[in-house]
């Protein structure tokens, strides 16, 4: 039996009591902000308040931006902000720091409960890299009580008090640029040299608080997730309509990523997995260089990232448009397991309930097909978990306790029978994963990626066109 999956059209209704009031979105060409659907300053301010509420007395949370990562010589990887930093501030630039104080403090003559430190604007650097935000605009853009330039911050006395507890979030060692005395390494040194107890070396509390906040998506976030997911479903459908034998895996990657970029997605949330034939059995295959044969299955596991939020949707497609009988047997089994998993995505259920339900279906099905002898061997062919939280990270922050209204999790069972597996060779090189993004509500689960066909009939019909 299939559960009822709601279409996307119902999702514009407010779903949660914690919905924010209507917010003003920023769209300001003069300041280099071109999107009018970014998270609002009110969103970030309210999220900082929610974190502040969790801090103990005299708690100070300090967040550092992601480092710039070098690709080779003078070429860096495209910058990606640390998700916690982005969630709390909206800033997408490197070399910045955010303080959230439990109690207001006097900083440079003003009483504030938060402080964002950003790099000062530098006309010479802007010739190469374009406009940066700078402290004056950061205050308005991100709704922080105080924003300060890095040069000033270095000479500002920090408002520590005896008994302060520092919780730091350090994504990675900050880059220390020998040509700058105000880069993140210098700013961080200024903080922890002056902190009364030194940096906190057990940041687990902060990690947990951020997971508690991030795992429950708010309306503004769900709007962006729906956009990322709908772009991704469109990409899967475009692939279904274009896929044919003799295409290379990288050409199928080009098809989906063209749809991402054409629809305004800034990135892929993770490298696109386009695994054909034997590569359908490699869980996180990203080489994507092989030429596809007519009888191959293609596992297409992709996610557009839109304003920071990523989708994660997998479809498994027969390259010539028609599943063979054996491919179909495995596919139908994974689909039944996914349906069983999705049915368990309900507020109050244990996070692992979907995995247990999906595993039971696959275990029994593999025995029935004679691929394993007893259900205890199921892990040989279904060797990964069924679900993870989804959001700013593809494997998003979350507590993995009971499911809560507002969680978005994947349900993605799979069966992977690599060559030389101990079963009839007719099953070899069949890898199938089906993955959808499911919203936990107060009632039935909502499949946010349900617009991409996932039954054998619907896929074959679209591919026949
Ligand atoms: N795309 C990686 C995953 O499904 O978890
Ligand atoms: Mn996933
Ligand atoms: Mn995936």
Per-residue pLDDT of 428-448, as tens digits, reads 999 999 999 999 999 999 999
Query: How far, in Å, from the CA of 347 to the mean position of ligand 3?
Result: 23
DSSP letter (8 states) at residue 94: S
- Of 228, 269, 284, the residue with max ligand 1 atoms within 8 A of its CB, to mutate for a pocket test, comes to 284
Arithmetic mean of pLDDT, 187-198: 80
Q: Is the pTM of this model over 0.95?
A: no
What's the pLDDT band for 29 if we cut at 50, 70, 90? low
Determine if ligand 1 sits within 6 Å of the CB of residue 301. yes
Query: How far, in Å, from the CA of 454 to the mean position of ligand 3?
Result: 15
Question: Could you tell me the domains of the chain?
Answer: 2-212 (3.40.350.10), 216-464 (3.90.230.10)
Arithmetic mean of pLDDT, 66-91: 95
Q: Say if residue 199's pLDDT is above 80.
A: no
Supply the pLDDT for residue 198: 59
Determine if ligand 1 sits within 6 Å of the CB of residue 312. yes
Determine if ligand 1 sits within 6 Å of the CB of residue 437. no
Determine if ligand 1 sits within 6 Å of the CB of residue 412. yes
Determine if ligand 1 sits within 6 Å of the CB of residue 305. no
Ligand 1, atom 3: closest residue by C-alpha: 312
Q: What is the pLDDT of residues 324-380, one digit of tens each?
A: 999 999 999 999 999 999 999 999 999 999 999 999 999 999 999 999 999 999 999
Question: Taking all residues of the chain, what is their mean pLDDT, rounded to a whole number?
Answer: 91
Query: How far, in Å, from the CA of 394 to the mean position of ligand 1?
Result: 7
Supply the pLDDT for residue 386: 98
Structure tokens at 201: 């070396």
Ligand 1, atom 4: closest residue by C-alpha: 312
Q: Say if residue 8's pLDDT is above 50.
A: no
Q: Which atom of ligand 1 is nearest to the CA of 270?
A: 1
Determine if ligand 1 sits within 6 Å of the CB of residue 344. no
Q: Which atom of ligand 1 is nearest to the CA of 314?
A: 4
Q: Say if residue 237's pLDDT is above 90.
A: yes
Please write down the long-range contacts of 351-358, taking CB distance under 8 Å and 24 or more positions apart: 351/387, 351/398, 351/400, 351/401, 351/402, 351/403, 351/409, 352/387, 352/400, 353/403, 354/386, 354/387, 354/409, 354/411, 355/385, 355/386, 355/387, 358/382, 358/386, 358/411, 358/413
Supply the pLDDT for residue 145: 96
Helix (H, G, I), strand (E, B) or coil at 51: helix
DSSP secondary structure letters along 95-125: S-EEEEEEEEEEETTEEEEEEEEEPPP-HHH
Supply the pLDDT for residue 236: 98
CA 41 to chain centre: 21
Query: How far, in Å, from the CA of 416 to the mean position of ligand 3?
Result: 15
Query: How far, in Å, from the CA of 426 to the mean position of ligand 1?
Result: 27
Residue with tokens 């996180």: 284
Supply the pLDDT for residue 129: 87
Supply the pLDDT for residue 31: 64
User: What ligand has the least distance to the C-alpha of 272?
Assistant: 1
Determine if ligand 1 sits within 6 Å of the CB of residue 436. no
In the chain, % of residues over pLDDT 70: 91
Q: Say if residue 1's pLDDT is above 90.
A: no
What's the pLDDT band for 197 if we cut at 50, 70, 90? low
Query: How far, in Å, from the CA of 202 to the mean position of ligand 2?
Result: 29
Supply the pLDDT for residue 27: 53
């Amino acid at each position: 039996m299939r559960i009822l999956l709601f279409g996307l059209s119902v999702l514009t209704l407010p779903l949660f009591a914690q919905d924010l009031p209507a917010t003003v979105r920023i769209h300001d060409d003069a300041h280099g902000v071109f999107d009018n659907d970014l998270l609002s300053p009110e969103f970030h301010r309210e999220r900082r308040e929610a974190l502040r509420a969790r801090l103990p007395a005299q708690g100070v949370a300090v967040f550092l931006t992601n480092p710039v990562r070098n690709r080779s010589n003078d070429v860096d990887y495209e910058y990606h902000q640390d998700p916690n930093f982005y969630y709390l501030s909206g800033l997408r630039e490197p070399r910045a720091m955010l303080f959230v104080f439990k109690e207001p403090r006097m900083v440079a003559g003003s009483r504030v409960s938060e402080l964002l430190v950003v790099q000062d604007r530098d006309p010479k650097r802007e010739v190469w890299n374009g406009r940066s935000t700078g402290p004056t605009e950061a205050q308005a853009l991100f709704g922080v009580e105080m924003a300060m330039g890095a040069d000033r911050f270095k000479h500002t006395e920090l408002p520590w008090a005896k008994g302060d507890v520092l919780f730091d979030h350090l994504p990675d060692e900050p880059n220390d640029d020998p040509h700058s005395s105000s880069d993140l390494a210098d700013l961080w040194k200024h903080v922890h040299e002056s902190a009364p107890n030194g940096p906190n070396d057990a940041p687990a509390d902060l990690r947990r608080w951020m997971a508690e906040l991030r795992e429950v998506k708010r309306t503004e976030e769900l709007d962006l997730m729906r956009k990322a997911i709908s772009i991704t479903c469109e990409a899967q459908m475009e692939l279904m309509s274009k896929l044919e034998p003799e295409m290379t895996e990288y050409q199928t990657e080009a098809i989906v990523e063209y749809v991402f970029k054409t629809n305004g997605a800034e990135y892929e949330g993770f490298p696109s997995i386009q695994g054909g034939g034997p590569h359908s059995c490699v869980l996180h295959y990203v080489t994507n260089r092989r030429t596809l044969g007519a009888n191959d299955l293609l596992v297409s596991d992709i996610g557009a990232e839109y304003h920071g939020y990523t989708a994660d949707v997998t479809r498994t497609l027969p390259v010539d448009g028609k599943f063979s009988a054996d491919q179909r047997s495995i596919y139908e089994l994974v689909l039944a397991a996914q349906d069983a998993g999705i049915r368990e995505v309900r507020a109050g259920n244990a996070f692992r309930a979907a995995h247990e339900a999906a595993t039971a279906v696959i275990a029994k099905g593999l025995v029935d097909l004679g691929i394993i002898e007893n259900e205890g061997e199921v892990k040989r062919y279904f060797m990964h978990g069924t679900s993870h939280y989804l959001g700013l990270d593809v494997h998003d922050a979350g507590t993995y306790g009971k499911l809560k209204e507002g969680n978005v999790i994947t349900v993605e069972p799979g069966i992977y029978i690599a060559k030389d597996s101990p079963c009839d060779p007719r099953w070899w090189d069949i890898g199938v994963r089906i993955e959808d993004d499911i919203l936990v509500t107060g009632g039935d689960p909502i499949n946010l990626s349900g617009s991409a066909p996932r039954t054998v009939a619907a896929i074959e019909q679209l591919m026949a066109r």
